[in-house]
Amino acid sequence: MATKKEKPVVCAILAAGQGTRMKSQTPKVLHKLCGKPMIDHIVQTTKKLEPARVYLIVGFREELVRQFFGDGVYYITQSQQLGTGHAVLQARDELFGYKGDVLVLYGDVPLVTEATLRSLLDRHRETCASATLVTTRVKNSSGFGRVVRNRSGRIVKIVEEKDATPAQRRIREINPGMYCFEAPSLLDALTEVGASNKQQEYYLTDVIEVLVKKGKKVETITTADEIEILQVNTRKHLAQVNRIMHERVLERLMNDGVTIIDPKTTFVSETVKVEQDVTIYPFTYIEGYTHVGAGTIIGPQTYITDSVIGSNVVIVMSYISSSIIRDNSRVGPYSHLRPEAIVGENVHIGNFVEVKKSVIDDNSKVNHLSYIGDAKIGKNVNIGAGTITANYDGVKKSETVIEDGASIGSGTVLIAPVRVGKKAVTGAGTIVPKSHDIPPNAVFAGVPARELKPHEQNS
């Protein structure tokens, strides 16, 4: 963002609070919205402004927040949560000597948009203010700090709801918590903020009054958007914001040519990419880094996360995680694809089939009631109903290989490690002991499996 004329900007996002009103052992900012922690939405939005740094002020169970972002942001610890002003003050060493701007945001206001932050920054720079903040006029101002102005309309201070007089409570212009400060003015003012208020906290909002009293320039921009400023203080808020985020994603998808049969019961995360002419039936979740190819039909009642789904695939009533399904395949109803299931083109995975860490290559079929784990299944293989790859001997997992064109009879148990050769056949109910590989083109049956000679094969 820093060009020759512009001052640099860093972002500080407050994420140290427990979020008492959430009644949770998880820090509030890690509660998920649209499939990812609420703080991640804010961090990703601020990163669009290309700030020199993004600082997260962390405290309550900070290890969890650090674990989520890793090296993607800078951390500042606020060991005791003594208020939003105290939180920002913890950045004083980091910001010491820094003459640029600081964008300060709260970690519980996840719908904030890049456009609003840009207008805030632009206004701040145009007016060369010491502080600029967003304000919003709302119908219901409860839960927000109120913006107090003088007769000539200049901002005087922000009053927290708990400290407001009845007249101040009636003010409809609120503080959504999006600020841009000149760093030295911010640090200077913060040292003058006390905690003699109802909550006995050091309020960041008091910085405004301090700056005004010092004769510093404080500017505001007023947005009309009542949605963007929604904060998450309670689980009810979490559900409301989650709903709004999903609606936004679905609207974008519909604009891009995706059919959503019932937006009220369909949940697609922001991170999901969906191509044209995909149809999503009700009661379906698609989350994580999932890609869905053109013309695919998903649902009803399907859950997919972190998976790559090809074009013209049909997935009905199934649960799929960290898997790949290539073009023209059919999955379900009632299939479970666990991590590292790789399904080729034109494959059929049918009802009550579980696949884990296995490859099922093109044109193969596993239509009914089977478990395929740690297996490599070639092309044009037919797996009969009730086939089990017994991959676990109680100590270690072993691999089953079924080569191209093989046909596995119903109820076959393949005790791994074992290999079935090309075009080999097993009869119904065969139990193949471990390491008893079946050669190509052979027909095996029985318990334990033995080779059937041609004259025995039709019995």
Q: Which residues are catalytic?
A: 368
Query: Does 111 engage in binding with ligand UD1 (CB under 6 A)?
Result: no
Characterize 219-258 residue by residue with b for buried, 16 or more Cβ atoms within 10 angstroms of its Cβ, and e for exposed. bbbebebeebbbbbbeeebbeebbebbbeebbeebeeeeb
Checking DSSP bridges between strand 407-408 and strand 382-383, what pairing results, if any? parallel
Nearest to 281 by CA among 147, 292, 446: 292
Binder among 9, 42, 155, 158 for ligand UD1 (CB under 6 A): 158
User: Nearest distance from residue 43's CB to ligand UD1, in Å?
Assistant: 12
Query: Does 145 engage in binding with ligand UD1 (CB under 6 A)?
Result: yes
Closer residue to ligand UD1 in complex, CB, 208/274: 208
- In sequence order, the β-bridge partners of residue 58 are 15, 77
User: Nearest distance from residue 27's CB to ligand UD1, in Å?
Assistant: 7
Sole window of 106-114, 280-288, 322-330, 361-369 interacting with ligand UD1 (rule: CB under 6 A) = 106-114
Number of shown-chain residues binding ligand UD1 (CB under 6 A) = 31
Q: How far apart, in whole angstroms, are the C-alpha atoms of residue 30 and residue 22?
A: 11
Query: Does 108 engage in binding with Ca ion (CB under 5 A)?
Result: yes
Cβ-proximal residues to 375 (8 Å cutoff; 6+ apart), any chain = 358, 359, 360, 389, 391, 399, 400, 401, 402, 416
Residues 229-268: x/- map of binding to ligand UD1 (CB under 6 A)?
--x-x-----------------------------------
Are the beta carbons of 156 and 187 closer than 8 angstroms?
no
DSSP 397: B
Sole window of 44-52, 224-232, 422-430, 438-446 interacting with Ca ion (rule: CB under 5 A) = 224-232
What tokens appear for 349 in the block?
């995975």
Alpha-carbon radius of gyration of the chain: 30
Binder among 84, 231, 284, 328 for Ca ion (CB under 5 A): 231
Q: By CB under 6 A, what part of segment 13-72 binds ligand UD1?
A: 14-17, 28-29, 57
Q: How far apart, in whole angstroms, are the C-alpha atoms of residue 361 and residue 272?
A: 25
Q: How far apart, in whole angstroms, are the C-alpha atoms of residue 71 and residue 350?
A: 43
Closer residue to ligand UD1 in complex, CB, 15/347: 15
Binder among 54, 65, 82, 147 for ligand UD1 (CB under 6 A): 82
Q: Which residue is nearest to ligand UD1 (CB)?
A: 145
Q: How far apart, in whole angstroms, are the C-alpha atoms of residue 195 and residue 82?
A: 9
Query: Does 176 engage in binding with ligand UD1 (CB under 6 A)?
Result: yes
Q: What is the helix (H) or strand (E) element at residue 66, kind and residue range?
A: helix 62-69
Are the beta carbons of 426 and 444 closer than 8 angstroms?
yes
User: Nearest distance from residue 171's CB to ligand UD1, in Å?
Assistant: 12
Closer residue to Ca ion in complex, CB, 28/348: 28
Sole window of 2-10, 225-233, 280-288, 332-340 interacting with Ca ion (rule: CB under 5 A) = 225-233
User: Nearest distance from residue 205's CB to ligand UD1, in Å?
Assistant: 5
Judged by the rule CB under 5 A, the positions of this chain that interact with Ca ion are 108, 231, 233
Judged by the rule CB under 6 A, the positions of this chain that interact with ligand UD1 are 14-17, 28-29, 57, 78, 81-84, 86-87, 106-109, 144-145, 158, 160, 174-177, 203-205, 231, 233
